[in-house]
Each structure stands twice: as C-alpha cells, then as structure tokens.
Structure 1
Amino acid sequence: MTHSSHWNQGFRRIAGALALLGALAAAPAMAQPAAATHSFGWKGEQFLLDGKPFVIRGGEMHFSRVPREHWRDRLRMMKAMGLNTVGTYLFWNLHEPRPGQFDFSGQNDIAEFVRIAQEEGLWVILRPGPYACAEWELGGFPAWLLKTPDLRIRTSDPRYVAAATRFLGEVGKRLAPLQVAHGGPILMVQVENEYGSFGADHGYMASIRDALRAAGFDGLLYTADGPTPQMLGGGTLPDVLPVVNFGGDPAGAFAELEKFRGRTPRMAGEYYPGWFDHWGEQHHTGQVDNILKDIGWMLERDVSFSLYMFHGGTTFGFMNGANYSDQENRPYQPDTSSYDYGAPLDEAGRPTPAYHALRKLIARHLKPGETLPEVPPSPPMIAIPRIGLTQSAALASLLAEPVRAVRPLAMEQLDQSYGFVWYRTRVPAAKATLEAGDVRDMALLYQDGKPLGAMDRRLGQRSIELDVDAGQLDLLVENMGRINYGRRLVDERKGLLGPVRFAGKPLLEWEMFRLPLDDLSRLSFADGWLEAPAFHRGTFRLRRLGDSYIDMRGWGRGHVWINGHHLGRYWRIGPQQTLLVPAQWLRRGDNEIVVLELEAAARGRSVQGLTDPVFDTP
C-alpha cells in the first residue's frame, strides 16, 4: 500500500465518522449503535490493525464445503487452536448457476458466514475469484461460460470480463459493507487467484482489480502466487500487495518475495499442511514435524500465514475438480469427494494430532493479553446400522425427450453443466474400432442393454474395439469433474466430443438425453435388483442423530443420496471408501438412501454406517 493509500484510508475514516455522527443525531432514540470500524493496512514488513502491528494467524475453510449448521462450530474450533483469521473462497458456479440468476441464500449465504466469523472473534480474508482453483469444478467458473465456443475464460476477452464484473458486483453488494473500515471483519480481498501459474496478462488482472473496486471493495487488495519470479511477475500488479503460497522452506519463499517486491509484509497466503486426493492414487496426510517447523519459523519472526486447509470438509455433489498431467498413462486426474486434505481439523470437524500440536505451538507465541479458548467438544458421530437396498430403478427410466443432431453435442451445448449425457446412435454390424475425438470423462457402452466396455479419460482412452450387431448403440458419458488448474481449463467441455467414427466411417444422426440428476423425484422404484446402470433404494430408522460415514466397500462406482442430498462419488479404486453424511441431512425416524451403481460387476447389496472414514486402495 502506498503512502497516499494510508492518507486516503485516514480521510475515509474521518468522513465515515462525521457521517456516522450525523446519522446518530438524526436517528430515533432507540437506534442501535453502529459496529466498531477499524483500519487495516501495512507499512514496511508489518500489517497494521488500527495503526498497531498485527500478525495474521489464519486458516482456510470454505463455507461451501461445510453444512451451514456446522459453520459456527468449525469457526470455534479454529479460534481454539489459536488462529485469528479465516480465509474462504467464493465459488462463482454456486452463486450464479445460470447467467444473471444469483443465489446467496441458505448454504450460499456468504454474508452470514462472515457475520458468524465476526461474532466468534475472527477476522476474514475474502477470496472472491472470479477464479478459485481449490480442487473445485472448473476452479469455480460456471460451466455456462463454455457454451460460447470461442469465449476464453481468465483472459481479457470482453465477454468473460463483463460476466466476471457482473458477478463481483453482486458479491460487493453483500460483502463490501462487511469490510473492517465499515464495521465488518474482512481485512483484505484477493484479486483473482494464483494467476502467475496461468498467464501474465496484466491488463486482465487490472480489469479484475477494477471490478473489485467498482463493487465497493475499498480496503486492502492482495494477490497470491507461488514463490518464483515467473509466477510473481505474471500474477501481481504494482499497486496490489503480493503474498506467496508454499508448502515448505518459508525462508526461501520469502527471500524470493523480497527480491521481487522489496520490503512488504511477509505472508504465506497458503501454507499446505496436507494435500488433496485423486481417484486411484494414495491418500495424503501431513507430516506434523515439518508443519511445526515451518509454522514455528513464521511465528518466531512475526510472519503472517494461512493454513490451507485448516478444515477441508467435503466437496458434495458433482462439484469436485480435476488436474491434468503430462503423464501419458494418467493424463486426467479427477479429485475425490472427500476434501479431508490431511488438515488439522478432519473432514467431520474433529481435531487431529496436528491440531493439538499446532495449538501448543501457537500458545507459546501469543501476544500479551491473549488467551486460547478451551477446545470445544467434537461433533457427535453415529454408526448407521446396516441398510439393505431392496428396491431398484433403471437409470434409463429417466430418459426423456432427446436432443437430436447430426453429430454429438457437448454437455454445454445441451445447456447442461453436471451429471451425465446418454448418447444414442445406430451402427452397422461389424467387428471394428470405435474412435472418438475425446471422451470427457467416462463412457460406458451398451447395445440392447448389454455392456460392451468403457472408455476412461484417466487412461487416455479414446477408442474401443467392438463386435456388434446392426442397430442401436448407447454411450453413457459422465462428467467426472472439470479441470480446475492450468491452461487446459479454458477448453474443458464435457461429454462425447466428435468426430466419432466406427470402422473408419463417421457416425451421424445422434440422440442425446440430458441426465443432470439434480432431481430424482421421477424415479419409480420396484422390489428386486436391476443390473447397472441402476439406482438402488433402502430405508432406515434413527433414534438419535449425528454425523456418520457410509461405507461403500463392496460396491463399484457411482453416487449416493441421503434424503435427497447428494453426498458425492464413490469408486472402488479408492483411496476414498466412505462418504460423509452430515447430521443435518438425517432425521429421527424414517430415512432414505439411494445409490446409483454404474459397474455391472459390483457385488454390493447393502451399506453400513461408520464413525470414522476409510482411505485405502484395494
């Protein structure tokens, strides 16, 4: 922040105070006092809160990954560990699911989350995007942006910038009044996110900065990037404070930051105590000794930090993201529904050994007058009794009127964002190769209900050998999560991408059935068991409530709903073998579970509740 910015902040505080005095003078005698305002800025290597040095001891927690009823409990856990600030992303795709239709209510009520943080004595770092990364579907971008074929997200494309500016304007209406200078807890706001890992278009970054200012964010803005000259150079702006993200060697990271920008506050915008999981890979856990060494180094030097993550929670529904790798045998890497992350607070909100070790470490570095609250009790857990799934309904029963086209259309062209598309065409009798331009991301092939095989994008599969009769060919294609990091996300359209050829000749005349699976009310279940792809239903009764884990070992691959709430994905390849069930989605008395099983060879017929998660790779 420049010296003129400090003067401007001072002028705004004086003007705000005069306006407040005038308002109080004109207000009725019973008017409530306004919330206390604060100043926040920096000078040299220190942040300044009300003009006094302030060290951010932060932790990341995404309100979208935690049921609203748990927000306060999780924030209290954060406070008890010794943190004073919570960082959170907004995910654009949740708040604007369709162009111009905004949702900041219920689970999406970010303003309420910020107010609860303030009530619990925590400051807030706001990360509104428009890009988040975060192992979230398309990095938080709404999929409808990709419906326009040549629109380029994360660039100066005026159509994209206009949409992002509109979204940030809506965010500002709700959150700009909650900045510290206006009586709220928001200390600072991030401009974009790790843009230096993607590009170096400073004009684009300036447009996002300007959109935030126009939205009413008149406080401290910052950028966060990896600690390399390329990332810092591409992702920052001269008039915005830079911070660095890393998972080790804080001394080296801050040396790079100082070489780049000189003397500014040293802050780890993201310090990684753990990591996220991909399907088919090992579960990640943090190394407590390394975490304590790095956080201790920062505490001893009054260096600010934010743990990414303090509490990961769960990526419910279809919202998981994916990575793209240059490995030829594993190019596409979808993320699991669990976002446990090896964080100090586990997926169910319980303190881990890292939590207690960090609490002891932070307690040795408290400022005069600071004390730590007692650690709150952990949320109650229950083991749901074993449930038999005795009724079934075919996935094909949801097929409605198709969209017809000469060539297959991408999911976005069908005005659909998530779930599945059922593609149908006709083939001649032949033993030959079926080839697709691309499969995004998993295709299951059938003829007359008989499974013919699969094409898996994780394995780079775009073709399959078939031996078929003349007639109808069905391909069930699932969006397994859009890429959320790197340059490939700009073209991350889903479905069956053409051209599609069989025996060297193009397959034309397609029918496409949308299956977003956002409403299962049309399903009609009957007693008995149907082979995949099918839904299976069971009921169970509960006398008391608590969080639980549903054990999906013995099943193949699919999705689970409890009382209509979509828990996420399961897959026998692991590492995640259980799905978290929040207590708030259960009820005393009768409950319903629905499982969509996609693998014909799956042997599951029942599920069991557990009080602890299972991570392994069979």
Structure 2
Amino acid sequence: MRFEGIKRLAMLGIMMTALSAAAATSHFSVVGDRFELDGKPYIIRSGEMHYARIPRAFWRERLQQARAMGLNTITTYVFWNLHEPEPGRFDFRDNLDLAAFIRTAQEAGLNVVLRPGPYVCAELDFGGFPAWLLRTPGLRVRSMDPRFLAASARYFKRVAQEVAPLLSSRGGPILMTQVENEYGSYGDDHDYMATIQEQLREAGFDTPLFTSDGPDPTLLDRGTLPGVTPVVNFNGGVDDVKEAFAQLAAFRQNVPRMAGEYWAGWFDHWGERRHQTSPKLAADAVDWMLEQGISFNLYMAHGGTSFGWQPGANSQGSTYQPDTTSYDYDAAIDEAGRPTPKFFAIRDAIARHLPPGERLPDVPKPASTIAIPRFSLDESVALVDSLPKPVASRLARNMEAYGQGYGFIVYRKRFADGAKGKLDLGAVRDYAHLLADGSTFAALDRRRNENTTEVDLKAGSTLDVVVENMGRVNFGPMLADERKGLVRSASLAGKPLLDWEVFSMPLADLSTLRFKRGAPARQGPTFWRGHFRSDAQGSTFLDTRALGKGHVWINGRHLGRYWRIGPQQSLFLPGPWLRQGENEIIILDLDGAAEAPNVQGLRDPVFSTPG
C-alpha cells in the first residue's frame, strides 16, 4: 500500500480508538469471530429488499412476509442516483423515504443492514451512480478523482442526516454499514477504499463497518480493509457454500462468518433465458449455514420491479446485456408480493434452527392480483411530431453532453441534395431507430454491435436517429465511461456528418403530448393513449405480447420497458397505482404499430423462452 494509504489507515485507527467507548455500549458489535446484539451472540438471518423497487404502500406487507419467512434482518442498498437526481438536489420523499422504510422494518421486528455505496451494482443504471457525474469530462467514478470524492462525501453526509437516529450505535435497528460494494471485482486501490471508509465515518456512520466481495482470494485482497469485517458473496449448493467459507478462512481469521449475498435467484437480460433456482438448493444452503452458526443475507428475499429508467446492464466483453424491467429475481417472495415454494422451503430450514423461545410469525395472507379485460388504445401521436425545441450542434454528441441522463435523444440531419451510401453512427448506445421523413427504415442494436446501415435518401429528406438509453452498465470496468446516445463521430460514405439538430427527450412529463384519434400517417415510433376502468382492488400484470418494443405509463407513472424478444412478456402494475374507476395508459411503441395496440391485465406474469 502506498504511503498516503498507510497514513490514512493510521488516522482511521485513531478515530476507531476515539469511538471505542461508544462501541463498548453499542446495541450491536463485532466481538472476535461473532456478532453480538445487546451483549449476546447474534446470527444475522437477513434478506435483501430495495425500498425504491417496492411501492411504499407495500413496504409493511413485504417486510412482514420477510419476518414470517424467518428473517430477523433486512438489507438494503441506498440508490444515490435516485436520491440526488441533480447535484446538490436531494430527494427522500414518498417512495424514497429511506428512514421511513427502516422504521417500518423495525416495526415488523426486523433489524437492518445498510449498504449506501457509493457504488451498489444492484442491476441498477450505472451501478447507482447519478448520471450527472458523466457530464464532467474525464471524471472517473470509484477512484481518487477529487471531483468524484467531493460528490460522494456530500452524498454520504446527506444520507447520514436521514438515518443517524436509526443507527445501532444510538440504539436503532441499523446494525452495520457497508463500505463500497464488491470493489475487489473492479479495482485494486486501497487508498480509495480507505477514503470511502473515512468519508462514512466523517458523515456519522459509527456502526460496525463491513466489506462485501466474492470469496476468491484475489477479490478479497483487493476489496477489503484492515479492521473491517469481510463478508463473501456467492451462489450454489452446500458444497459451494463450504468452499466460499474455506476461502474466507484462508484469507482472514477471527472474523464473523457471513454470506453478504447468497444468490438465491438471479436476474434476467432481454433476449436471454429466464433464470430460476431450485428451492431445495437454496433451502439446503441456508440450513447448512445456520447449522454452522453462519450469518447470511438472501439476495433477493423480494426483488420487486426496476420501474422507469432504473434497469442497468451487463457487459461480457463487447457484448451489451440490458436488464429486464422485472426484478423478480426468482426470489422467495415474487414480484407481486406472493410467497413461492422457495419461501416455504427456506422458512422450514430456518425454523429448524431458531434460538430457544423464538417462534416464527404466521405467514400473512398473500397479496391479491386481478385481471383487467382487454382494451384498445385509440389515440396517438408520432414521436417526431412531439419533439421539444432543438439544440443546434456541430457534432452529434453524447446524451450527457446536452445535460440529459435518461430516456431518448433524437439527432436530426436534413439533406437538401439527398444522401446515399454507408451511414456509420460510430457507436450507438443503446438502440437506434432510423427514420426517413418520419418513417422507420432501419434499427441498430448495441447488443449486436450494430452501428452502420445503408441509406438512400432523396433530395429534401430528413433523417432522424432516435436513440434509446437502455441502461448503463452497472458492473465491471465498462461502467466508468457509460455515456449514452451517439458517443463517436458519425459519417456518411466516409465523410463526417456535421450540423445536427438535437432533441432531448427524458420523458419525465408526458402532459404536453397532443393526441388525436386513430393512427398517425407515418409508421415510426408512436405514443398511444387509452383509458380503462378498474373497480376491483389488486395488482395486475399488463400483457405486452401484442406489442413490439417500448415503454408504458399508467396514470403518469412509468412502469418501465417491454420488448417482445422476452423473456419478460408482461409489466407489473401495482394495485395502489390504479385508480378506482377510469385510468389512463400511455404506450410509446417504438416499432410503430400500424393499428391501435391492445392490452389486458393478467393475474400472473408471462415469461417466454427467446427463440
């Protein structure tokens, strides 16, 4: 470790000494190779839930279900990008009321493990970093870049203001706080990790701290800190669990053993198969860990939904893999809040290892779902007829360069003399619909590294390139430079394309759309609007199998993305977001359906196997 890192760790040691008196009387503490709660040995039986992925009206119900499954703790990330959508403008209201979620967990009989990042992964856009960080040329996240560290320190201080009274050091339910997240899978800078630890302490997080990494010795060496409890993340059966903890034991002795993430399910990518994990495999792993006195966190206990622009993406080499809207994760509690066979298998395993005197609560009545009869959307307006005021731009630049973080961006080029040849857009991030005079003639998909197409445009034609941000990579080295839109120079027949009109479409407010009855004259990306009645109470799944690719809003709330390639073929619509009586639905169908689309609400989700 470099000299500055050694000095920083020495300073942290002094800070820890100063905090020793408080630690001696702490509600929760790390004592040698075990956790203690109020001075007694404590096994953490945790499950992950993310408040921002669950409508607030469902928080209490979902947390009570987790308690009935046998959990005594809930773990949650804190999503920086949602809490600070613009620099210095914080939001902890409504569904982002972190403190209220933690208090609700406490009322349900659950403690809390907090994971504030600043990086969280979580299959979340940009790993939870706010997109505005990318507006600063050259800024590097997860590094000693002083511009990044100034932003992360401000963020930590603001989060601490929300949760300080709830920390275990003050008798609250927050037992531990995580330092960064799986940094060993990203970098090898102990100065950076020590700085994040220091920022957390300076913000007021005086609970025990921990790091979380894969069990590989290299990952542990890169991602952990001296004097901070390391926990390990993994999946698989009992043999895999044994191997993970054998690796942890070989790396560091005399620390509590904990699975920071035991992946009891997995997430899905568009165009790939749906992931499912055996209930027995997960329950057997939990059974073995409890038999050995090992703490754990089920990732996920309840996944919920990545509403709006939340989904992130992965990257395998040059292959881009966008995540689905559903974050069901094949979790023990499904996306609609219903216990699954995995729930009962894990509950039975936990019940076999309860401390004397503890009894599991009864399982709450499952959440109800409803069906909604099929209905049509009979009003429309073309996307190209709904554009905002443009910005003149010599070059077609990335989305962030125009101050935009999410949604769509449209690049328009007019050809007085026509155009013919190979159109090279450099790098499309992430999906582009190409329109000639308002009608689609080609589509380019980043998943397939598609950046070029042939064009033959007559004199006076207008070319529109409609680019969709499908989620920034949230894991691995590529996340550091995940700008969207057109990120390299565009050319036609080998010559640079200059002088564009650029339209930013974050689609945060659809109230300015001017709908007309019937279908638009041109076949391209189209907004459709319709109305339906709902007199029953309950959540539903909007059947999107009759649609192509696009997004859905219900009563102004952005449910998320659909895409016929699957595996997800329906969108979860939470009951509390439905109105009794008439409801408004707006669909942006990018494939430009020639006829009015129709949808229905189903009691259960639909998944398909991609062809």
For normalisation by structure 1, the TM-score amounts to 0.93
Q: Which residues of 2 match residues 156-171 of structure 1 at below 5 A?
A: 156-171=144-159
Q: 1:273 aligns with which of 264, 288, 298?
A: 264
Instruction: Find the counterpart in structure 2 of residue 475 from structure 1.
Output: 465
The partner residue of 2:21 within 11, 15, 24 is 11
1:299 aligned residue: 290
Would the aligned equivalents of 2:393 and 2:499 in 1 still touch at CA under 8 Å? yes
Partner of 2:608: 616
Q: Distance in 2 between matches of 1:474 and 1:106?
A: 38
Deviations for 1:331-383, whole angstroms, at most 9, x for unmatched residues? 10000000000000000110000001111111111000100000001112111
User: 1:398 and 1:170 mapped to 2: Cα distance?
Assistant: 38
Q: Which amino acid aligns with 2:497?
A: L
Partner of 1:595: 587
What is residue 341 of structure 2 aligned with on the other side? Answer: 353
Tell me how far apart the structure 1 counterparts of residues 232 and 580 of structure 2 sit (CA, whole Å). Answer: 47
Q: Paired residues, what number?
A: 593
For residue 277 of structure 2, the aligned residue among 286, 293, 301 is 286
Whether 1:436 aligns to 2:446 is no
Asked if 1:325 corresponds to 2:303, the answer is no
**Among 488, 491, 501, which residue is 1:501 paired with?**
491
Structure 2 equivalent of residue 404 of structure 1: 392
- Residue 6 of structure 1 and its aligned partner are, at CA, apart by 9.4
- The aligned residue for residue 9 of structure 2 is none
- Residue 571 of structure 2 corresponds to residue 579 of structure 1: yes
Percent identity between the aligned chains? 55
Q: What is the rounded CA distance, in whole Å, between the counterparts of 2:22 and 2:251 in structure 1?
A: 31
Q: Structure 1 residue 392 and structure 2 residue 376: aligned?
A: no
- Name the CA distance, whole Å, in 1 between partners of 2:576 and 2:301: 22
Equivalent residue number for residue 516 of structure 1 = 506
2:540 to 548, 553, 561: 548
In 2: Cα distance, 1:389 partner to 1:343 partner: 34
Alignment CA distance shift 1:341-1:500 (3 Å): same
Matches within 5 A, 1:82-231: 82-231=70-219
CA distance in 2, matches of 1:134, 1:347: 16
Residue of structure 1 aligned with 2:455, choices 466, 486, 498: 466
2:479 corresponds to which of 486, 489, 492: 489
1:457 aligns with one of 434, 446, 459: 446
For residue 22 of structure 2, what is the amino acid of its counterpart? R
Q: Contact 2:378–2:596 (CA<8 Å) still a contact in 1?
A: no
Give distance in 2, aligned partners of 1:365 and 1:376. Answer: 21
- Partner SS, residue 57 of structure 2: helix
Q: Secondary structure at the match of 1:499?
A: coil
Query: d(CA) in 1 for partners of 2:344 and 2:596?
Result: 38
How far apart, in 1, do the equivalents of 2:328 and 2:285 lie? 21
Name the CA distance, whole Å, in 1 between partners of 2:345 and 2:247. Answer: 29
2:246 is equivalent to residue 250 of structure 1: no
Instruction: Specify whether residues 101 and 241 from structure 1 end up closer, same or farther in structure 2 by C-alpha distance, changes over 3 A only.
Output: same
Shift in alpha-carbon separation, 1:167–1:496, aligned structure 2, 3 A: same
Contact 2:439–2:524 at 8 Å: present in 1 too? no
CA-to-aligned-CA distance 1:155-174 (integer Å, 9 cap, x gap): 00000000000000000111
Paired residues of 1:229 and 1:256 also in contact (CA < 8 A) = yes
CA distance in 2, matches of 1:604, 1:135: 33
Which has the larger displacement, 284-293 or 558-567? 284-293
Shift of 1:450: 2.4
Q: Distance in 1 between matches of 2:110 and 2:19?
A: 22
Deviation at 1:430, TM superposition (A): 4.2
Q: Secondary structure at the match of 2:301?
A: strand
Residue 396 of structure 1 and its aligned partner are, at CA, apart by: 2.0
Secondary structure of residue in 2 paired with 1:385? strand
The equivalent of 1:22 in structure 2 is none
Which stretch of structure 1 is more off in the superposition, 394-403 or 121-130? Answer: 394-403
Q: Does residue 365 in structure 1 map to residue 353 in structure 2?
A: yes
Q: Distance in 2 between matches of 1:274 and 1:282?
A: 14
Deviations 1:83-105 (A, max 9, x none): 00000001101000000001111
Classify the secondary structure of the residue corresponding to 2:608: coil
Which position in structure 1 is the counterpart of 2:254? 263
Q: Distance in 2 between matches of 1:400 and 1:593?
A: 22
> Any conservation in 1 of the 2:368–2:539 contact (CA below 8 Å)?
yes
User: Which residue type is aligned with residue 495 of structure 1?
Assistant: G
Give 1:24's aligned residue.
none
Alignment gaps of 5+ in structure 1: 17-37
Name the stretch that deviates more: 76-85 or 294-303: 294-303
Deviates more, 1:529-538 or 1:241-250: 529-538
8 Å CA contact retained: 1:192, 1:205: yes
Paired amino acid for 1:300: E
Show the counterpart of 1:536: 528
1:420-471 residue CA offsets vs partner (Å, 9 max, x unmatched)? 0010113453431111221000111111122120111010111112222233
Does structure 1 conserve the Cα–Cα contact (< 8 Å) formed by 2:72 and 2:111? yes
2:560 match: secondary structure: strand
C-alpha contact (below 8 Å) 1:39/1:49 kept by paired residues = yes
Provide the C-alpha distance between the structure 2 equivalents of 1:478 and 1:440, rounded to a whole number of angstroms.
7
- Match of 1:269, as an amino acid? G
Q: Give the deviation of 1:292 after TM superposition.
A: 1.9
Would the alpha carbon gap of residues 412 and 496 (structure 1) be closer, same or farther in structure 2, given more than 3 Å must change?
same
**Structure 2: gaps (5+ residues):** 1-11
Q: Secondary structure at the match of 1:346?
A: coil
Whether the 8 Å contact between 2:435 and 2:524 is mirrored in structure 1 is no
Aligned counterparts of 2:412 and 2:334: Cα–Cα separation in 1: 43
Aligned counterparts of 1:294 and 1:339: Cα–Cα separation in 2:
22
Output aligned runs, 1:415-434, within 5 Å: 415-427=403-415, 428-434=417-423
1:617, distance to aligned residue in structure 2 (A): 3.2
TM-aligned CA distance change 1:216 to 1:59, over 3 Å = same
> Which of residues 364, 374, 380 in structure 2 aligns to 1:376?
364
1:520 and 1:405 map into 2 onto residues whose CA distance is 25
- Alignment CA distance shift 1:13-1:406 (3 Å): closer
Output the amino acid matched with 2:370.
I
Matching residue of 2:302: 311
CA deviations on 1:366-410 (whole Å, 9 max, x unpaired) are 000100000001112111121111111221232121111110121
2-structure distance, mates of 1:583, 1:282: 28
SS at match of 1:80: helix
Give 1:560 deviation, angstroms.
0.4
Moved more, 174-183 or 554-563: 174-183
- Quote the Cα distance in structure 2 between the aligned partners of 1:4 and 1:210: 12
> Contact conserved, 2:525 with 2:592, CA < 8 A, in 1?
yes
Change (3 A) 1:246 1:10: same
Take 1:78 and 1:474, find their aligned partners in 2: how far apart are those partners?
A: 49
Describe the superposition over 1:307-344 as per-residue Cα deviations: whole angstroms up to 9, x where unpaired: 00000000000110000112x6xx10000000000000
SS at match of 1:125: strand
Alpha carbons of 1:495 and 1:527: their partners in 2 closer, same or farther (altered >3 Å)?
A: same
Q: Is the 8 A contact 1:315 1:568 kept in 2?
A: yes
What is the CA-CA distance between 1:601 and the residue it aligns to?
5.3
SS of 1:550 mapped into structure 2? strand
CA distance in 1, matches of 2:128, 2:122: 8
